[in-house]
Copies of this chain bind each other. A is one copy, B any other.
Amino acid sequence: MQYQKKVEKWGCFEVSFNGIAEGNPFTERYIRATFTGTQEQVTVDGFYDGDGVYKVRFMPSFEGEYRFAVSGNFCREDVSNESTGGKNTAMVYEGSFTVTAPLKGNHGPVRTANQFHFAYEDGTPYYSIGTTCYVWDLQPDDRIAQTLESLKNSSFNKIRFCVFPKHYDYNLGEPRSYPYEGTPMDSSVLTKENFQEYNFRADLNDFDYTRFNPAHFRHVEWCIQQLQELGIEADIIMMHPYDRWGFCTMTKEQDDLYWNYALARFAAFRNVWWSLANEYDLLPTKTLEDWERYAKIICCKDPYRHLRSIHNCRPFYDHNRSWITHCSIQRQDLYKCAELVAEYRERYGKPVVLDEICYEGNIQHGWGNISGQELTRRFWECAVRGGYPGHGETYMSPDDVLWWSHGGPLHGESWKRFALLHQIMSESPGLGLAPYFNSWDDICGVPENEFMLPVKSYYLIYYSFMRPSFREFHFDDETEFEVKVIDTWMMTVENRGTFKGKFRIDLPGKEYMAVQIRKVK
């Protein structure tokens, strides 16, 4: 038995054992532990990590002393007991450790807060600015290093990515590793013309879907930890339909084994979000019952209640389901999506995260070829309405390395504008904005909890593609407001001073302008 004596609050405690490597430890063995502190008692499954090693992980939510007791059938002694008929005498391993105060930058897991918004568990508001790099984690080391460097220099604080490799246009190569033991099909037969014929061709592969490749999962965990160090949430896509290896067409039993294994491994990392699927509706063999069963496994096996959602291609999943913590939306209309945040908030009563609203780029597909201006516009449209937008980049590249799937360097223009947006989001009083319907051509957010007040302490107005040369405002004659004019594209913020009553703000008659109005007394 090996374990740390100290771990920070919301850190990942791990205890490991040497045990039985014979047979199929993934299906024949179990390991489980109960962790007891003064304010919580949590029982979690552990997992087999290969080479005879078994591990249990735990994320403590309180400071102070914790005890733990591990049981299972993973040790040679247990087995020898079993073989002699002593089934109930399985060994129990005990220990204790100290949970210290969280280190700088550790605010705990992200929770939904104030109904439509998010905050870290320590109360720090979290304004999500997401991106998508589906299989950045399964790339070679140098590209992963590049991706982490790009993320470090960006203001992204959430990234969507997969556990399983991706088979799709621009994604015909092999991943760095596979999640299962076995031999994949020969990918040298694939071309840009024929690759779609190989979708779902489990029969061309020879994988054992009951034997995980622990190295694959250890690597995904390393990536999760790297993101954690950058303050980025790992929005883990557990299943997806772009598959030639049979990972998305496994049996019910194989699926459940996967879910339990991934939960035992990933749940103790505080920056994990569960995205049940990318484009759940495109998985050919999964039914609504399957998705609900996976959700039940998560709810049962993740004691930390990480955020949970499921992402659509065409029809939305019913985000009213109680296990869904927030909407993870792909736009349904070529023209409107960010503009519909108010409707989605009303329909689902939950945080609205627009994970796919078309990517900046120039590929042939309509979901990946808008300009940096247009994507930035959609970000602001979304944010001002109290939603949380998501980015992706799909610029053609001679090496077929596109940020949306591979990570690597960022080529676009929109990502540079998100630091300002995040700053402005962070400046709103309280936690989060609510859409405010002042006039038909005002796109305006006000503090969520001031929605009913006649005069708000804050108005964030965005003019999108409109180009007013001035706008008039009319408040009461007492309240004084500070007015800033924001060029969201040129990234300038200009303080225009304080105003009250009826006043006029001159604007440059350009697209993509915003006005921030803050009550000063």
A interface residues with partner B (beta carbon < 8 Å): 334-336, 339, 361-367, 369-371, 374, 396, 440-442, 465-472, 509, 511
Contacts and interface: CB of A to CB of B under 8 A. Distances in A.
A465 B509 contact: no
A366 B336 CA distance: 18
Contacts of A509: 362, 369, 396
Contacts of A466: 366, 369-370
A364 B203 CA distance: 63
Contacts of A471: 364
A165 B470 CA distance: 26
Main SS of the interface on chain A? Answer: loop
Given A334-B339, A339-B335, A371 B468 contact: no
B374 A472 contact: no
B364 A465 contact: no
B335 A467 contact: no
A334 B441 contact: yes
A31 to B, nearest CB: 48
A511 B369 CA distance: 9
Contacts of A469: 362-364, 369, 396
A282 to B, nearest CB: 14
Contacts of A442: 366
Contact of A440 (B334, B364, B441): B334
B441 A366 contact: yes
A485 to B, nearest CB: 14
B336 A467 contact: no
B365 A441 contact: yes
A362 B468 CA distance: 5
A468 B335 contact: no
Given A334-B339, A361-B467, 5 more contacts: A335-B339, A336-B336, A366-B442, A367-B441, A369-B468
A361 B510 CA distance: 10
B371 A465 contact: yes
A51 to B, nearest CB: 47
B465 A366 contact: no
A160 to B, nearest CB: 21
Contacts of A339: 334-335
5 contacts: A334-B339, A364-B469, A364-B472, A369-B467, A370-B467
A365 B366 CA distance: 31
Contacts of A472: 364
Given A334-B339, A339-B334, A465-B371, A440 B366 contact: yes
A469 B169 CA distance: 15
Most interface-central of A334, A336, A364, A511 (chain B CB within 10 A) = A364
